[in-house]
Amino acid sequence: MDTNLKKTSRNKHRVSLGTVIWATFLAFNVIIIGTVLIFQVVLLDKFYKSSTKNDLAETAATIANVYTTNQQNREYIPYLDALHLSDDLACEVYISTIEYEKKYDNLTATNTNPYIFNAPTYFDSLGNQNSMVYYEDNYIIFVSKEFSNNLSCYIIITTPIENVGYTVNILKRQIIWIAIASILLSFILARFLSLRISEPIKNLSNSVIDLSKGKFNIEFPKSNYYETNQLSESLTYASHELGKAEQLQRDVLANVTHDFKTPLTLIKSYAEMIRDISGDDKEKRDAHLQTIIEETDRMNKLINDVLALSKAQADVESKNIEFSLSGLCNDSVVRFDELASTKKIHFTYSIQDHVHIIGNKEQIAEVLYNYISNAFNYTRTSIHVTLEVLDKVAIFKVTDDGMGISQEEIPNIFKRYYRSSDSHIRSVNGTGLGLSIVKAILDRHSFTYDVSSEVGVGSTFMFTAPIANSKK
Ligand code: ADP
C-alpha cells in the first residue's frame, strides 16, 4: 500500500503522453510558422528587391545582345523592339550606344518617365562600375554598361516597385489565422493520438496488475500497433511461463510431500509393528528395522537430491576451476566397484589420463554419480564407462544393457520428477530428480549432453566438455 502511494506520487511528476505529443506538435508548428513568418514577412522586401535586380540584370544582358547584334548589321532597331523581351517585368527601357552617348535620340519616346528622361545623369553616375541599382520613390532603376558582340552600350531599365508592405500585411493576417487553426488542429490531433496510443498501454497495465496479484495464464489484450502488440505478446508469453512455473512449483511440492509421506508412513507402521508385534521376535524385528533403515535412506536421498537441485540452479561461475576429469572419473567408478560385485554386474571402464576441464568439480562429480548410479539402477548385466578426448573435447559416456528408454520418453527424462512408466517400481532406488540435477548442472556449464537408447537393448548417457588449454 505504502509503495503504491509512493508510486502514485512519483507519477504525479511525470508528463502524460498526450502532453508530450501536443508539445511536439506545438514546437513543430512554431518552427514552421516562424520560418514562414521570417521569409514571407520580414525578408519579403529584401527578396523581392534582390530577385527583381537579378531579373533586370538578365533582361539588360539579353537586350544588349539583341541591340548590339542589330547594330552590327547596321539596322536601326528601336529600343521598343527589345522591350518585348521584358514584358513580364512591366518595365521601360532606354538604350544608348557609347558613340551616341550624349545624343539620347530616343528620349522623346519616354518623356513621361522622369528616370528615363534623366538617363544621361544615371549613365554618368556609373563611372567605372558596370551596373547600379537605384530605388527612387516607387521605381527600381537599373543602369548598366553592357558589352556584347564586341560593342558596348548603356542600358537603363525602370520598373515600378510593387507595394510589398501591403502584401506583407495581408500575409501577416493570414499567418495569424493559420497559426491559430494549426494550434487548434494539433491539440485535437494530439488528444486523438494520445488516446489511441495510451488506450492499449492502459489496458496492458491493468492486466499486469492482475498478473502481479497472482492471476497467471492471462491473455493480454491485442492492439493495432506493432510495438504494443509485441509487448502484449511478450507479456502473454511471460504470464503463461509464470503460470507453468507456478504449476511446476505446486507439482514439486506435491511430489516432495508425497515422497516424504510414503517412507514416513512405512517407518511409522514398522515402528508400531515392532512395538506391538515383533518386539520379542528377533528375526521379524530385524526385518522390520531393516525396512525402517531403507526408508530413512530413501528420505535422506530425496532431501539430498532436492538440495543438490537447488544448488545446481544457483550460480556456479564463481566456483569454476580447472581440474582433472580423469581423476574425478577414476574416483567415481571406484566407489561403484563394490556395488557391482554385490549386484553381480559386469562393470568395466576405460578412462583416458590427463583430461582436464574447467568447471565446478563438485557438481561435475554429481553428474558422474547420477549417470553411473542410474545405470546401476536400470541395467541388467553390464555397465561400461568411458572418458576420451576427440577434437579437444572430453567425452564422458556410461553405457548399460538395461531395459532402455522409448524414443517418446527420452525428451521427458530430464524433466523434474519424471520417471518412466517402467521405473515406478519401488524397488528401483530413484527420486525422479537425478537427471534434472544433471541437466541443471550441464546447462549452467554450457556443456552438451545426450542419450541414445533402445528398448530392451540398453542406454548410453553422455556429456561433452571442452578440455582446458593448459593440459591435454
Ligand atoms: P530416477 O531417480 O527415477 O532415476 P532420474 O531423473 O535419474 O530419476 O531419471 C529419470 C528417469 O529416466 C528414470 O525414472 C528412468 O525412467 C529413466 N532413466 C534414467 N537413466 C536410465 C537408464 N540408464 N536406463 C533406463 N532408463 C533410465
Q: What confidence tens digit (pLDDT) does each residue in 188-238 have?
A: 988 888 888 888 888 888 888 888 888 887 888 888 888 888 888 998 988
Q: Which residue has the cell 493520438?
A: 193
CB atoms within 10 A of CB 187: 15
* CA 432 – ligand 1 centroid, Å: 7
Task: Tell which atom from ligand 1 comes closest to the C-alpha of 418.
Answer: 10
373 lines ligand 1 (CB under 6 A): no
375 lines ligand 1 (CB under 6 A): yes
Task: Give the long-range contacts of residues 211-220, CB within 8 A, separation 24 or more.
Answer: 211/235, 211/239, 211/242, 216/240, 216/242, 216/243, 216/246, 217/243
CA 264 to chain centre: 53
Cell numbers representing residue 434 in the block: 537425478
Residue 314: what pLDDT?
66
Residue 198: what pLDDT?
82
Instruction: Identify the CA nearest to 360 among candidates 433, 441, 438.
Output: 441
* CA 456 – ligand 1 centroid, Å: 15
The residue contributing the CA closest to ligand 1 atom 3 is 432
Task: Tell which atom from ligand 1 comes closest to the C-alpha of 422.
Answer: 16
Q: How far is CA 177 from CA 42, 164, 184, 186, 335, in A?
A: 18, 20, 11, 14, 94
Residue 282: what pLDDT?
84
Q: What confidence tens digit (pLDDT) does each residue in 432-442 have?
A: 788 988 998 89
Distance CA 367, CA 397 (A): 11
Distance CA 104, CA 424 (A): 126
In which residue ranges of the chain is pLDDT below 50?
Answer: 1-3, 5-6, 74-86, 100-110, 316, 424-427, 471-472
400 lines ligand 1 (CB under 6 A): yes
Residue 99: what pLDDT?
55
* CA 370 – ligand 1 centroid, Å: 9
The residue contributing the CA closest to ligand 1 atom 20 is 374
Residue 350: what pLDDT?
96
Q: How far is CA 448 from CA 322, 389, 409, 438, 445, in A?
A: 18, 14, 19, 11, 9
378 lines ligand 1 (CB under 6 A): yes
The residue contributing the CA closest to ligand 1 atom 7 is 434
